[in-house]
Structure 1
Amino acid sequence: MLTEQKSPLKPHEINEAEQYDTLTDEQVIALAQIVINRYGPDQQGEISLLCRSENATLKVQTDTTQYALRIHRPNYHDKQDIRSELHWLNALQECGMVVPNAVADANGILVQEVQVDTNETRYAVLFEWIAGEEPTTDVDPKAFEELGRIMARLHRQAIHWQRPTEFKRIVWDHESMVGNRGHWGRWDAVEGLTAQDIPIVNRVLEDVAQKLKFYGKAPDRYGLIHADLRLTNLLLHPDGTRVIDFDDCGLGWFMHDAAATVSFFEHHPNMAQWMDAWLTGYQSIRPLTTHDINILPVMIIQRRIQLMAWVGSHQQTDMAQSLGSHWVRETIRLCEEYLADQTQLLRKAG
């Protein structure tokens, strides 16, 4: 069995250790090999690590095709959560949407359990590979129009779908996103915040909480969402934009999915163009109310603060390290602009 390497925690490291997977890359690949050994000859191949973020994602290259293997980090989703995600993916496929398709092992098992040591079990799922290119911030805003149409179809299906009785997924509400016990840790644990920044963010969060309470959780506003529809979870393909990585899917506000599309890039000069295109695409499938459109700046700033918590608890990831020290300063600037004039976050949208 593998033995997880641990070292004593310093106080500022506790938030990160609770969130980030502490296995080495070599240990993750060894776990992946254990999982793949349970599959038939068609799934045997060379294993390579693609990325580590909330989970580890690996590529399995066979003689004829490739697969994506996801190994879950501990203390995030249990087996019922993961099975529920797969239930939704199956339902979306039945509606004709191109989403990840899980592959069963030689014994017909979809959700694998693999031992790290005597005290820790990990879950893993093998998916068919979805072709496409990951967009960058240089993407044509028209791609966001297609994304809007896809997201509207996701939401429409979620509203009308009768979920299985055993269905259970994570809840994304205000407290679980930006509260002291948020799923991704505390936003005030991120490096780069000053003592003067804390009250600014708190003022924003007080306003956000009030507006979301008024907005409410009616079935046409709050339901099953992807919850992480950012650029890295999109694949551009000649046949249309595909959505991947439903690992964070759960119960939340539909407009939170809109905010997630610009994750980490809320300060980008093209953000308003992106959201304009998104609105055009989305409303061609599912028209929004004035209340829905007006809540978008609220969702965007809440998401940005939620991402501060993620960065603070995932500092070892390539994504967090790529942001640089200016990202937190940009976040505070966005908070100040929100307090002064919320419409600046969506100047051209709507």
Structure 2
Amino acid sequence: MQLEQLEALTRAALAEQYGLDGTAARMDVQQYEDNAVWRVTPPGSGSFVARLSVRDGRPAHQQRSEMRWLERLAASRTVAVPEPVTTTNGNYVVPVEVPGHDEPSTLAVLHWLPGTAEPPYRRPGVAEEMGSATAHLHQNAATVALPEFDRPVWDAETILLKGHALADPTGRSQLGSEGTTALRKVAELITPALHEGGPDDRGRIHGDLHRENMIALPSGGIGIIDFDDCGTGHFLLDIATVLSSIHRIAQKEPGAYEDFARAFLAGYIKVRPLPADSSRLLEPYLLLRDAFILNFVTTAAPVNASVASWGPGRIAGIVANMQAYVEGSPYPGSLTSM
């Protein structure tokens, strides 16, 4: 499906469903993977995010749960997030018929959160602010009831045993026999630890809280975007995701990652305590995060040229790290103390 055709369908829906001037709006592509995402700037008004789910995206009822959580987070004023925009009829999500698709795609619109993606993690105070924003996200999950929250459960069964990388033949073929063996061994080794913890250690999580989904706000502080993978899971999965994403860019500079991690965790602790046994359990969740990435890449690479360009290299790097872990090496991003 050509992106230009998806944009035309989205422009029409913005006018028909949201009362926005879709014809004259400026639309800048932000992402085109599982979703087509644009920054939409109609003349004479603020900017919005339009997200059209075009490749087996979350079903509409799950997207509505995502929007309800974003509304609660925005209302809390403890962490900045994109606030949902409803249609003129009050709907969070609308169907969009896309030629060649058996089922309608779904469109969600949110207010644009101004700021700069990938906060400068080495700037004084930024790491601590990133930790504080993560903790406020989890504090909301722990204290604000959302009974109708219907999202994926991100646990060992979903990510490891039923994940695309192991459960689907096309996933295993991209890992190769040695990579498949390594991932299976990792699943065997870490699953007991992933079952640990009580209800206070689990709740609503972002699910994909890497550095590119955190925003340095113009007025200071950190905002969080892209809740498309939000679900229920152990809070350490979000923490491990942030740390892993920083480790990838900081590991070549001695001490940079450790300095970030200490400051990030200090910022988190100022808002709420870390989950129980965090020092010991961080490593299994770093591995679970990389298994999550393997699932995404092996699913998306065959149908998305962008992911296909970087995906094989990412698979190879993760498999090498997992093989080293199986042989007894600490996993990248692990900390001796937290």
Partners in 1 of 2:235 and 2:203 — Cα distance?
Answer: 7
Shift of 1:296: 0.8
**What code does the residue aligned with 1:77 have?**
R
Letter in 2 for 1:49: V
Aligned match for 1:283, one of 234, 259, 269? 269
Alpha-carbon distance change, 345 to 260 in structure 1, aligned in 2, over 3 angstroms = closer
Question: Equivalent residue for 2:109?
Answer: 126
Distance 2:156 2:214 in 1: 25
> 1:275, 1:349 within 8 Å by CA — same for their partners in 2?
no
What is the aligned counterpart of 2:208 among 225, 228, 233? 228
Tell me what 2:13 maps to.
Answer: 35
Higher mean alpha-carbon deviation, 242-251 vs 255-264, is at 255-264
**Match runs of 1:194-273 below 5 Å:** 194-213=176-195, 215-216=196-197, 218-237=198-217, 238-262=219-243, 266-268=247-249, 269=251, 270-273=256-259
Instruction: Tell me the amino acid that sits aligned with residue 19 of structure 2.
Output: G
| Unpaired segments ≥5 residues, structure 1 | 1-22
Q: How does 1:161-180 map to 2 (within 5 A)?
A: 161-164=144-147, 166-180=148-162
The residue correspondences of 1:295-306 to structure 2 (distance < 5 A) are: 295-306=281-292
Counterparts of 1:326 and 1:80 in 2: how far apart (Å)? Answer: 35
Q: Work out the CA distance in 2 between the residues paired with 1:48 and 1:137.
A: 24
Distance in 2 between the 1:325 and 1:41 partners? 40
- State yes or no: 1:73 paired with 2:57: no
Which consecutive unaligned segments of at least 5 residues does structure 2 have? none
Shift of 1:76: 3.4
Distance apart, 1:308 and its partner CA: 1.4
1:137–1:242: structure 2 CA closer, same or farther, 3 Å change rule? closer
SS in 2 for 1:195: helix
Percent of matched pairs sharing the same residue: 26
Partner of 2:68: 87
Q: Aligned partners of 1:141, 1:173: CA distance in 2, in Å?
A: 34
TM-aligned CA deviation for residue 48 of structure 1: 3.2
- State the secondary structure of the residue aligned to 1:163: coil
Query: Which amino acid in 2 is paired with 1:110?
Result: Y
Whole-Å separation in 1 of the counterparts to 2:322 and 2:238: 20
TM-score by length of structure 2 reads: 0.85
Q: 1:32 to 1:115 in 2, by over 3 A?
A: same
**Structure 1: which amino acid aligns with 2:25?**
G
Mark the CA change 1:116 to 1:325 in structure 2 (over 3 Å): closer, same or farther: closer
Select the residue among 314, 321, 330 that pairs with 1:327. 314
Aligned residue pairs total 325
- Report SS of the residue matched to 1:248: coil
- Give, in whole Å, the separation in 2 of the partners of 1:314 and 1:79: 21
Opposite residue 142 of structure 2, the aligned amino acid is: I
Cα shift at 1:50: 2.0
Do the aligned partners of residues 110 and 280 (structure 1) sit closer, same or farther apart at CA in structure 2, a change above 3 Å counting?
Answer: same
Deviation at 1:59, TM superposition (A): 1.6
Residue in structure 2 matched with residue 20 of structure 1 by the alignment: none
For residue 126 of structure 1, report the CA deviation from its aligned partner: 1.2
RMSD: 2.9
Q: What is the TM-score with the length of structure 1 in the denominator?
A: 0.82
Give 1:318 shift. 6.8
- Is 1:115 the counterpart of 2:108? The answer is no
